[in-house]
Amino acid sequence: MTAPLHEAHPAGPGRALPDTQQGMRRRNLARVMHTVSAEGPLSRAAVASRIGLTRAAVSTLVDELIRSGLLEELGPERPGRVGRPGSALAVSGRGPAGLGAEVGVDHLAVCAVDLRGEVRARAVRHGTNRGRSPGPVVEDLTGLVRQVVAEAEQEGLAPAGLAVAVPGLVAGDARTVVRAPNLGWQDVDLGTLLPVEYPLLVDNEANFGGLAELWLGDGTPRDFLHVSAEIGIGGAVVVDGRLLRGTRGFAGELGHVPVWPDGPECGCGGRGCLEQYAGEEAVLRAAGLEPDGDRVGRLAGRAADGDADVRRALRDAGEALGIALTGAVNLLDPEGVVLGGALAGLAPWLLPSLRAELARRTAGPACPVSVSRLGPEGPLLGAAHSVVRAVLDDPAAVAARG
Amino acid sequence: MTAPLHEAHPAGPGRALPDTQQGMRRRNLARVMHTVSAEGPLSRAAVASRIGLTRAAVSTLVDELIRSGLLEELGPERPGRVGRPGSALAVSGRGPAGLGAEVGVDHLAVCAVDLRGEVRARAVRHGTNRGRSPGPVVEDLTGLVRQVVAEAEQEGLAPAGLAVAVPGLVAGDARTVVRAPNLGWQDVDLGTLLPVEYPLLVDNEANFGGLAELWLGDGTPRDFLHVSAEIGIGGAVVVDGRLLRGTRGFAGELGHVPVWPDGPECGCGGRGCLEQYAGEEAVLRAAGLEPDGDRVGRLAGRAADGDADVRRALRDAGEALGIALTGAVNLLDPEGVVLGGALAGLAPWLLPSLRAELARRTAGPACPVSVSRLGPEGPLLGAAHSVVRAVLDDPAAVAARG
């Protein structure tokens, strides 16, 4: 009687329907896809042994996935092995693809990722979106989407969905941007503005960044706190391999954790929030620089050159991050903290004071802090991979649509 | 394409085994138990319609649960209804019971709760445990357990397990108290010390308090933050009806969230932690009172009498709670905050400043804060109900042992 005591009732989210043969088949199709995706190429026999079903049961599932274009046979395995040669299975490099898009403050980007996880097409448009009204921005984005889709289709790929990362809070409908202060957007329904015929998912860039880290990071644990920055500070909480979304989808707002409760006023209504000390604009201000142009590049360049003001500003930002993270670590007890986005590029100057603050406020070993290798690519990749994961998680849905 | 995108792979925790007929049967037994528990008495037909299985399938499951002593038939339903009269099913008031125990700083308590959720036996021993070594404390606790078990057995109940709430951090083995500073315990293995022949589960009192609120609270949401106090401040994070435990089982340590980062040193190694402002001892000190005796009773009594020092101390504690909770709410986006334990009794004097702080630091509507009706009973009831829930969640395990 250990962990199961605290498990939710089995009829929890995703398990609301009674157990039926049909539901069992769908879940087993997903198991086959995930197994081949993670460990393929694999023979039918190898898949069967890994997921604990009979070879006959697996063959039926595999045949269905091949018919739907989600798996492909690579031909007979090389001779020399014992027994009848099996045909190796691999995830298809054609068929469904995930489209990811990012509406950044300074750029727009779109990419297509196949079921194998490879980026197969990509388009970017540089230029500020700050203060532009949603219509023209979405029009530019739609142009990039068309361009990427055309490229992907030439390679035999078909979009299974479009996921859009935005720098703001997104409503529970996963379409409406409730508030994106650095764009100046409020209550913008991207579902209406974006003329796409496939499923749409809109989410906060920090959430997609956290998911990218979970799925693509190098040795990322299944319980971690992801901290990123563009203008503001974004956070994503991943618990047991799942993104913690919160009641309204607003969880992970690390940027508005109070650090010095009497500190400067913040746009969120609070005072002394982390963003007032460690957001890009706050750091530029503290270093006496203008908050425009290539913000991170300039900070990193000057810090590398030994600029004392910039180094001090980054050290103070690291200290504020350390204080806010102490609270977050006490609440969540994650296996680690991962710095992503712009923070990754500034890590050499943030980390010493950040780690020192965490260590001196923690009895026992402090929570390990690492730096993401995905950097600013995280949200875009996380968006595209969200679509890919949805296909792997329920291949039967694609087969039914196909 | 909405929520499922972020669902974990179906082979997540509790679903590690492939879908089999056997697993399906166990989950359906649990569904029948939970349905009768939540809505009973119900006829077989009513259970079938609620869980979406055929009447024949439900009858087989019900017969098994009756044979195991988990359900009972109340006899034919009253006449006058349409169709053949069905026999109403109810959860058995005999058979398996959950034993809950609490090691408090000032008391020990044990109770037995039947599968219907009723407390059927209870024993308490008052007197401080601070600084007592674990052996004698556990010996006293064992005496109370024996007394409660004897009473329960006389009523036809049989313990299905013992869950123990402790005021400290518990290791992942759910047996070892890693650190209970207010008892003076460190690395105490209750699994070895407690001579019981049924499954044992040890957990932090704040976790059990949060679970009690989830299961027994009045209109408690499925996403909330539970805050309680004894000497320290305890917290429990409940996400989508599940307790967030953290990597090492240390999540929910709201008491060590930094409030004023340059504030007084805390036993945790930090400075200015919430506990330094809102823990019972901190409030007593701030009010100029000795930190002994009936701490909460004295504070509440004096506050009710209009003692200005006590009221000021409680107002300041409420403010510190509001600052720490602002950070927690930004990270977790819960549906609400529930004050439990000793804080419930002090709520009239804590809430105004707490709510004001949350409101002034939040753009838009602040997170609602409510007061638990369970008060100091929460951890003990949560412990006993944990055992009961384990039976409801996997009735087949009891049947197999039976």
**Mean pLDDT computed over every residue of chain A:** 88
Tokens of A365: 């070993």
Q: Kindly give the interhelix angle for B308-332 and B341-360, rounded to the nearest 10 degrees.
A: 70
- Rounded percentage of chain A residues whose pLDDT exceeds 90: 71
From first CA to last CA, the distance across chain B in angstroms is 45
Q: Looking at chain B, which residue has its C-alpha nearest residue A200? A: B1
Paired with A145 in beta bridges are: none
Residue A258: which of B250, B268, B327 has the nearest Cβ? B327
Alpha-carbon span A260 to A278, nearest angstrom: 12
Give the pLDDT band (50/70/90) at residue A16.
very low
Nearest Cβ partner of B51 from A6, A18, A390? A18
C-beta of residue B320 within 8 angstroms of C-beta of residue B278: yes
In this prediction, residue B81 carries a pLDDT of 52
Segments in chain B below pLDDT 50: 1-18, 83-84, 402
Q: What is the pLDDT of residue B186?
A: 93
Give the model's pLDDT for residue B20: 72
The string of pLDDT tens digits covering residues A347-356 is: 999 999 999 9
Name which of A56-60, A387-391, B13-17, B65-69 the model is least confident about.
B13-17
- Please tell me the predicted confidence (pLDDT) of residue B8: 29
A75 pLDDT band, cuts 50/70/90, is: confident
Q: What is the rounded CA–CA span in Å between residue A389 and residue A66?
A: 18
- What pLDDT does residue B392 have? 94
Domains of chain B, earliest start first: 19-91 (1.10.10.10), 96-209+379-401 (3.30.420.40), 218-373 (3.30.420.40)
Which chain B positions have a beta carbon within 8 Å of A100's beta carbon? none
Distance to chain A for B369, nearest Cα, Å: 15
**In this predicted structure, what is the pLDDT of residue A388?**
96
pLDDT of A238 over the 90 cut: yes
Q: Do A7 and B393 touch (CB under 8 A)?
A: yes
The alpha carbon of residue A53 is apart from the nearest alpha carbon of chain B, in Å, by: 7
- The HSE-up count of residue A101 (CA atoms within 13 Å, CB side) is 28
Mapping DSSP to helix (H, G, I), strand (E, B) and coil, where does residue B155 land?
A: coil
Q: What pLDDT, on the 0 to 100 scale, is given for residue A392? A: 94
Candidate from B7, B27, B243 with C-beta closest to A10: B27
Question: Sorting pLDDT into bands at 50, 70 and 90, what band is A7?
Answer: very low
The shortest C-alpha distance from B77 to chain A (Å) reads: 27
A141/chain B closest Cα distance in angstroms: 20
- Residue A294, pLDDT > 60, answer yes
Contact B7 A19 (CB under 8 A): no
More confident residue, B172 or A153: A153
pLDDT of residue B211: 96
Closest residue in chain B to residue A335, using alpha carbons only = B247
Query: Cα–Cα distance between B351 and B369 in angstroms, integer?
Result: 8
Cα A176 from chain centre: 18
Nearest to B331 among A9, A17, A253 (CB): A253
- As a whole number of angstroms, the distance between CA B87 and CA B98 comes to 27
Q: Pseudo-torsion of CA B300, B306, B312, B313, nearest 10°?
A: -30
